[in-house]
Amino acid sequence: MRTRTIAKTRSVPVTIDGRTVLVEEPYVVRVPVPPRDWDRAVRTGLLAVAGIVGTAAVTWSTVSIGALLQTDVPAAAAYAAAATFDLLWIGCMALEWLARYDPARATAPRRAGWVALVVAMLAITAHGNMAGSLAIGLIGSSVSAGAKTLWWLTLRSFTNRLTSRTQQWVDALRAESEGQLALIPVRRELARARGTVAAEEAALLARPDAGPDPDPEEEGPDADVVPIHQTRIVVSAKDAVRDAWDVGLRDEETIRRVASTAHGSPISEATVARYVRALKVGA
């Protein structure tokens, strides 16, 4: 069995002049080396080969289709558009890989990827035919077909196959998680809507201070008339809460904001809760 050496440190006591302290002492240990994972090595090499083949396919299709398109459009636009032909089926293949454990969702990108491949092969074949060599066009189109097939088989080797019962179990867990994710924007939208409604109700039910009386007719001074100073009618906290309840408000926080505005000073949450409980019992 193969082994390898690992350097470690440990704390050991050292006593000098009657005083003991812990110091770090290096030491080495030999641990067994696991056997080489040839499956992983082969898969790594397969990914490298698939990457090289895919790069060659994209390069060939870009050059070939770009030469076909530049007969009618500028070269820069032609080659930019040509690069998308193979990139389309590569992108669809990536989407298929992400949905590898969701067969229903993986169907659409799988079909779209093969359609994109056929379109790219037809364009490459058309360029070869236009250049006077249909054989070169067919051979060039087979490069993209081979790259797509190699990538498809490579990704399949990394995918674990699930039984019908296991797939249903995975689908149930995914549906639960996706439902929880879907609730996040819904809750955010509902919170914004409730905030808007509360602000609208608070604005409509707020009672502004009484303004000055209309200008009275100018009269002369009268000794029998005693001036009365204008005072503001103060609404009690209980009456303010009852008024908010009577107009249909049921959320205690909304009732507290509206009642505090009518009362003229903040009302505590405990007070609002006590009055609301009394109103509920009376209802």
Q: Where are the domains of the chain?
A: 3-32, 41-161, 168-207+232-283
Percent of the chain with pLDDT over 70: 89
CA-atom Rg of the chain in angstroms: 40
* pLDDT tens string 37-74: 888 889 899 999 999 999 999 999 999 999 888 888 88
> What is the arithmetic mean of pLDDT over 186-192?
85
* pLDDT tens string 128-158: 888 888 898 899 899 999 999 999 999 888 8
* pLDDT in the model for residue 226: 46
> What is the arithmetic mean of pLDDT over 276-281?
82
Contact 102, 110 (CB under 8 A): no
Predicted TM-score (pTM) of the model is 0.55
> What is the arithmetic mean of pLDDT over 72-89?
89
* pLDDT tens string 111-128: 999 999 999 999 999 988
d(CA 92, CA 113): 5
> Does an H or E element contain 31, and which?
strand 19-32
> What is the arithmetic mean of pLDDT over 76-95?
91
d(CA 277, CA 252): 10
Of the given ranges (9-13, 80-84, 134-138, 207-211), which has the lowest mean pLDDT?
Answer: 207-211
Mean pLDDT, the chain, integer: 83
Which candidate, 220, 217, 236, places its Cα nearest to that of 275?
236
